[in-house]
Chains A and B, each alone.
Chain A
Amino acid sequence: MRVERRKMINRSLLNVQNTNIVSPSEVLDYIYKVKREVVSGT
């Protein structure tokens, strides 16, 4: 699970570079969004 989490974080952070995200809270929001996508399989 820890490896999976780290993958999610890395994937999020890589994508963050290509978005307009500027604040830490937006990063958290983005990670949560990725998590939901992974959980729901979309």
Chain B
Amino acid sequence: MEPRIGVYICHCGSNIAGTVDVKEVARFAQGLDSVVVARDYKFMCSEPGQNLIKTDITELGLNRVVVASCSPTMHEPTFRRACQEAGLNPYLFEMANIREHCSWVTEDKEEATEKAKALVSAAVRRVYYHQPLETREVSVNPNTLVVGGGIAGIQAALKIADSEHKVYLVEREPSIGGHMAQLDKTFPTLDCSACILTPKMTQVGSHPYIELLTYSQVEEVSGYIGNFKVKIRKKARYVDEARCTGCGLCQTKCPWKVDSEFEAGIGKRKAIYIPFPQAVPNIPVIDREHCAYFLKGTCRACEKFCEAEAIDFEQKDKVIEVEVGSIILATGFNLFDPTPIYQYGYKRLDNVITSLEFERMVNSSGPTDGNIVLKDGSTPESIAIIHCVGSRDEKYHEYCSRVCCMYSMKFAHLIKEHTDAEVYEFYIDIRSFGKGYEEFYNRVLNEGTIFFRGRPAEITNIAETPEEEGKLVVQFEDTLVGLQRRLPVDMVILSCALESQPDADAIARLFNISRSADGFFMEKHPKLDPVATMTDGIFVVGCCQSPKDIPDTVAQASAAAAEVLAMISKGRVEIEAATAVIDERICSGCQACELVCPFSAITFDEEKGVCRVNEALCKGCGACVAACLSDAISLNHFTNEQIVAQMEGMLV
């Protein structure tokens, strides 16, 4: 059938019409080959705008549609839907972006109008060669995998499981809880962190729809949206989970002490240990690297005292395979190690500690029973808190970690609550942006905390005056008064940045998702799709996506759960029709396409010696088309004919 094309030029209020002569562009479009009608309208995305297209399809018999407006990322689905509602295959539509690519970036009206004409002409030429394509649907497995058992993973898992759908919650540590379990109070309400977290942890541990896999790691992911297959390695605890009663006698009797990861290194744990008293599951794990039995073949004290006979030194790792429809990544963050900032003296000077170490120190269940003490056991009389350590710093991380200002002010409040010490906060800018945060800042100010604007240059123990003797001296420029100053204090807390996990790159490769320049996992769209990723069916929540506070993390986790539940509820998902197609008669089986495919959508058929595309995984990026040496691959909706026509249209 001869193409009958309708062209619609959007004013987008004054966004386009302010720079582009839309009437002139419509007149130009009317004169192009196969164009039956060309109109301009104030907002094509509005209902009357869409109705204009629908009516013309019906009354004028249009079989191709071009809309020249904004970015296809915004409204291509809108106009495709409009075409479909009028009975036209949605792939017989083409969009020309005359806003971002033209009106917004061109000042001269005449030049902008000329470019808009070229873009419209290119779209018209291209749509001429469009072919109707059919989208396919695949069923969705109602099970979900949540990776990471911090507050983000817990929240997402509970929301999904509460709707009676199975969730596999995988956590690599021996207990769920994440960083939140290490915190003392949470800003700005000063709720006890454990008090609000542990009920959720217990709920996860006993939920009939959650299968908790702690001390486990994902090893392999295959499949596609709705139908993933995941291999999980359940590491040996050397404790029989079915027999263990969680009495804790084994860790009491174990004679070997090592630095506790949960206590951020300022407390000790045993070689067989439960990370913290409220751990879920409340089952110990033997640390092979420090257990005397594994190192020297002696001891076995835990085994001797275990009445339940739960110690099993012969236990082996298990690999289990699960099938899920969607995956939520909630792998959290890593706290920046300030050791490389030599001038701050961390690990070099006594009483210079990180924010996490202070969290454990001030926690009533921590190694000092909540007492803020110096290394010699005395109580500090003055404490400096330095903001932005590793954040907003070109040498380390350029981004703002978003929570440091607030937790630093929380520390100031807790110090005042526990001691009579003077507190000094060193900041670049105070960023108290959330609900109740500014009020908390004012509260801390009124409590007598002294704020200095300036990033300290150095922390030293070299005294220049008698009052600096035996103290840490913070050397800094007070930028509000323009003075270089020295301030002697007893303790320095470094408010460290939140950074991506050290193995974020491996996780990204495992799940086939991208990372942004700052190392965090990249979302599909920062504003309109902030929890989805470019790999359909995989979502990112919490601090693995970017640094954020607890309320934002919980909100994001609930949002991802809602996305997953929407998929489960529908029971099927649509697969993009614009996928690569391999002509098996031409394919030489060189597998160059398999190597370049970023979505692992191409597999090699050993028997036939040709490559195959898994349409469910293919995103239509075209990398394989460019890589194919035999010219055996073409891309639906991006054929050579269509692209060359578009380019030629650009030159009219």
Contact partners of A25 in chain B: CB under 8 A? 97, 101
How far apart are the CA atoms of A39 and B235 in the complex, in Å? 68
Binary interface encoding of chain A residues 7-42 relative to chain B, with 1 for a CB under 8 A from any of its CBs, else 0:
011001000000000001101110110010000000
Contact partners of A9 in chain B: CB under 8 A? 644, 647-648, 651
With contacts A9-B644, A28-B122, A28-B646 known, is A35 near B651, CB below 8 A?
A: yes
Contact partners of B119 in chain A: CB under 8 A? 28
Nearest-CB residue, chain B, relative to A12: B647
What's the interface size class on B, roughly?
10 to 19
B650 within 8 A of A: yes
B45 within 8 A of A: no
Most chain A Cβ neighbours within 10 Å, of B97, B101, B646, B647: B647
Contact partners of A24 in chain B: CB under 8 A? 638, 643
Nearest-CB residue, chain A, relative to B114: A36
B115 within 8 A of A: yes
Binary interface encoding of chain B residues 623-652 relative to chain A, with 1 for a CB under 8 A from any of its CBs, else 0:
000000000000000100001101110110
- Residues of B contacting A: mostly: helix
Nearest-CB distance from B421 to chain A (Å)? 53
How far apart are the CA atoms of A28 and B647 in the complex, in Å? 6
B274 within 8 A of A: no
Contact partners of B638 in chain A: CB under 8 A? 24
How far apart are the CA atoms of A8 and B97 in the complex, in Å? 22
How far apart are the CA atoms of A28 and B100 in the complex, in Å? 13
* B650→A31 contact, CB < 8 A: yes
How far apart are the CA atoms of A28 and B651 in the complex, in Å? 10
How far apart are the CA atoms of A12 and B638 in the complex, in Å? 19
B118 within 8 A of A: yes
* B646→A8 contact, CB < 8 A: no
Q: Which residues from 311 to 332 on chain B have a C-beta closer than 8 Å to any C-beta of chain A? A: none
How far apart are the CA atoms of A32 and B648 in the complex, in Å? 10
Contact partners of B650 in chain A: CB under 8 A? 28, 31-32, 35
How far apart are the CA atoms of A28 and B96 in the complex, in Å? 11
What would 20 A/B residue contacts be, using CB atoms closer than 8 Å?
Answer: A5-B648, A9-B644, A9-B647, A9-B651, A24-B638, A24-B643, A25-B97, A25-B101, A27-B647, A28-B101, A28-B122, A28-B646, A28-B647, A28-B650, A29-B101, A31-B650, A32-B115, A32-B650, A35-B650, A35-B651
Sorted nearest first, the 10 A-B pairs with minimum C-beta distance are A5-B651, A31-B650, A9-B647, A35-B651, A28-B650, A32-B650, A32-B118, A31-B647, A5-B648, A25-B101
B residues whose Cβ falls under 8 Å from a Cβ of A: 97, 101, 115, 118-119, 122, 638, 643-644, 646-648, 650-651
